[in-house]
Structure 1
Amino acid sequence: MSTKLSATYLIETPLDPRAVAEVMAGEQSCGTFTRVEGETDALRERARAIVESVETVGEVAMTSLPNAYLERKGIRGPWHRARVRIAFPTDNVGANLPTLAATLAGNLYDLGEVTGMRLERVSLPAAYRDQFDFPRYGIAGTRAATGVSTGALVGTILKPNVGMSAEDTAALVARLCAAGVDFIKDDEVCADPVHAPLAKRVPAVMAAVREHRERTGKQVMVAFNITDETDAMRRHADLVKREGGNCVMVSLNWCGFSAVQTLRRHTDLAIHAHRNGYGAMSRDPLLGIGFQAYQTLWRLAGVDHMHVHGLQGKFAQADEEVIESAHDCYRPLAEGNASGQADTVMPAFSSGQWAGTVPATWHAVGRDDLLFMAGGGILAHPDGPAAGVQSLRDAWQAVREGCSLEDAAKQSLPLASALRFFGR
């Protein structure tokens, strides 16, 4: 007997939401807008998606999205909003991530019956989840690789984003290692540029990382941006591995599920999953995909870290969305997976982060199993990067001990300087 996975959608329609839900179920399984030849009762019983629930959540006087289909038919509002939950037989999809995404988030966005469509949540049975990849590092492995057993991992982003040579980049990495960071990442726009190709940048950077490790015993994790076509990413990952690295970064949305799955199965390096472009899929509340569903699909590809942005940061998302996204990373995709493998990923906080955003992060998340990445918060600290790193560590120690940053700053010059400079 086939198991089922379920998906929850927020829809907007001038029609009966229950009828639209049935259209959605048929469109994304065995049917179309009408029953066709060969669509027997037995086939429908085996393969058709099932509407599990329809909950009306409101009504609006103006449509959210244009719809030529409804205009041709002269259908006007009011427009009903409803939350729809649909169960899909897993046998329709198999262990096929691109087809799973096409099933959950394919032609539904083009349906003529709706003026709003957002995939909010995905729920997987354990036996189905076990057919996909798991993280190789996740939270515990990332802590072990960096030697950070407690506290948030302090990270930074190489700036300038582009323009530095391989030698310039290595010199900056050496400086950041000496400053005491746990994690360094490339920017999403710097992958394999002419002025600092990975073939030169990886050896140069890893020489600096190895020198620091030999001198201090500390292995800094560097996420090299290897975003490219699939064969090139495999070559880049092999280079990072040969040079003693343990992490690569991928721009998920532009590489695609298949490429990331192939990379995961090719290498045992940690995959730092960058979601740049996700805003185009998520910022409209009646279109696209919510983070819980988004991260579910990408975690099936076996990534280890997921970007969630940052609290009180420079981007458009509300703090509540960032908080919920972080908690999504901490939840297993399915309870009771038979493999027993760890099934959580480390959330990566970034975007305008500095010591002053630490209390909000701690109080909202309630744990420090996270990458706390500050670009300007470290590199622009008035007393230098080492003071920037120390200001973050002192801020995290303060909030874990229930102390205010102002009180902690009395004993920490780096924190005091950060509060004066960034808190203006």
Structure 2
Amino acid sequence: MTPSSTLSLSGERFTAVYSLSGTAAEVEARASAICLEQTVEFPEALIPNQAIRTQIVGAIAEIEPSARFSSSDESPNSFEVSIRYPVETAGRELTQLLNVLFGNVALQPGVRLQRIELPPALLQHYQGPRFGISGLRQRLGITDRPLLCTALKPMGLSPAELADMAYRLALGGIDLIKDDHGLSDQIFCPFDERVSRCAEAVSRANQQTGRTSLYLPNITAPADELDARAERARERGAGGLLLCPGLTGLDSLRRLAADERLGLPILSHPALLGGLSLGPHIGIAHGLLFGTLTRLAGADATIFPSYGGRFAFTKAECQEIANAARAPMNGLAPIWPVPAGGMRLEQVPELVRFYGADSLLLIGGDLHASGDLSARCAAFRSLVEPGSQTDSSGNAWGDL
């Protein structure tokens, strides 16, 4: 075998923090195994030379008791383990970065990827969001309030019926009108006809109101159709795109966000991603999955199930997502957290106080609770105008 004495890497590393359970000795042994598994995937005793051991294999940086369970009897021996990997192991590819972070150990029980720290040498390979918070505000002409979003539903309506709904939603002042993620290219609602009709309807409403509402069709599709569907959406007047990266892969999101020909905001839907985050001791932490990784891939806004709806995310998990979406990240634009999942108008004041002005509130079915859809949308809009809400001290939320 050819020796690797010529191996000469930069020495720069990125960090992955894992949550592991067990005794201190068990966790240290398991951490050492992860260092090998996520890089060489080779027995340590059989590594052919010292250069690979020192320059390629992951290195344990720190092991400390996990604060997540420090006051709970659920997992008294839970630790956070920081492992540092050479930046060269990730190459310049999002797919390989994800592979190093969690590829094989995702198959093992009791391992949860909590967070990551990526140096500029690695982040330079990623464009991230094209618009983010400030870019989407500029596109909509809105500077000082949360944005409003809803979905065209239920499945089963014709393109003409959905277009009429989109028109009334835009008249009512909804900023982003997206396809329901269940709308694809079904025989009862073909993609091309739906996009053409809905884009025209929203454009017509914009001309009447003088405002800007955007229609975002769902372009989630098989790999060999995805790019063409995105391009057809742009040609037919879509104002943005909805994508389910859990179904198509995060790198498909990255590719679309980087496509200069499209140049459209992308809203990420969490379909199928939930299974990666729900277990407290397995999968990927909420903030990392729905915030950091989705943002790194290029989403301008990330939908997630908010507390208080029909899903199981807690307040702490939702705050973790919102923080990760907007935290400084070496120049990558902050993105919109989009709390959703059975939200109701009566919850809007609390949602605005919790998520703040740089949030995008998604309400679906509850907008249809009365006969006048446009009036219901206008009521939704009135709840997020600056000065419409105050805290317990009487301060307007826009001043907080």
Q: What TM-score comes out, normalization by structure 1 length?
A: 0.83
Q: Which residues in structure 2 correspond to 1:116-131 (within 5 Å)?
A: 116-131=110-125
| Deviation, structure 1 residue 182 | 1.0
Is 1:28–2:38 an aligned residue pair? yes
Whole-angstrom CA distance in 2 between matches of 1:356 and 1:167:
31
- Does the 8 Å contact 1:311/1:360 carry over to 2? no
Whole-angstrom CA distance in 1 between matches of 2:282 and 2:160:
44
1:358-406 deviation line (CA, Å, top 9, x unaligned): 23223323x21121111123221x36222322322332247665168xx
SS at match of 2:305: coil
Could you say which residue in structure 2 is the equivalent of 1:360? 350
SS at match of 1:19: helix
Could you say which residue in structure 1 is the equivalent of 2:295? 299
Is 1:313–2:309 an aligned residue pair? yes
| Deviation, structure 1 residue 188 | 1.4
In structure 2, the CA distance between the partners of 1:399 and 1:91, relative to structure 1 (3 Å rule), is same
Whole-angstrom CA distance in 2 between matches of 1:196 and 1:2:
54
Aligned counterpart in structure 2 of residue 387 of structure 1, from 372, 375, 380: 375
Aligned counterpart in structure 2 of residue 218 of structure 1, from 196, 201, 211: 211
Whole-angstrom CA distance in 2 between matches of 1:398 and 1:138:
21
- Does the 8 Å contact 1:233/1:263 carry over to 2? no
Could you say which residue in structure 2 is the equivalent of 1:81? 78
Q: Structure 1 regions of 5+ residues with no counterpart?
A: 65-78, 409-424
| Deviation, structure 1 residue 346 | 1.0
Is 1:347–2:347 an aligned residue pair? no
- Does the 8 Å contact 2:166/2:198 carry over to 1? yes
SS at match of 1:347: strand
| Deviation, structure 1 residue 157 | 1.2
| Deviation, structure 1 residue 21 | 1.0
Q: Structure 2 regions of 5+ residues with no counterpart?
A: 1-9
Could you say which residue in structure 1 is the equivalent of 2:59? 50
Whole-angstrom CA distance in 1 between matches of 2:41 and 2:220:
38
SS at match of 2:28: helix
Aligned counterpart in structure 1 of residue 318 of structure 2, from 309, 315, 322: 322
1:219-260 deviation line (CA, Å, top 9, x unaligned): 211121010023422112212211222211111111013322
In structure 2, the CA distance between the partners of 1:132 and 1:398, relative to structure 1 (3 Å rule), is closer
- Does the 8 Å contact 2:288/2:321 carry over to 1? no
- Does the 8 Å contact 2:382/2:388 carry over to 1? no
Count of paired positions = 378
| Deviation, structure 1 residue 35 | 2.3
- Does the 8 Å contact 1:176/1:386 carry over to 2? yes
- Does the 8 Å contact 2:87/2:121 carry over to 1? no
Whole-angstrom CA distance in 2 between matches of 1:37 and 1:20:
18
Q: What TM-score comes out, normalization by structure 2 length?
A: 0.87
Could you say which residue in structure 2 is the equivalent of 1:420? none
Q: Which residues in structure 2 correspond to 1:191-206 (within 5 Å)?
A: 191-206=184-199
Task: Indicate the RMSD between aligned Cα atoms, in angstroms.
Answer: 2.5
Could you say which residue in structure 1 is the equivalent of 2:366? 377
Could you say which residue in structure 2 is the equivalent of 1:74? none
Is 1:258–2:251 an aligned residue pair? yes
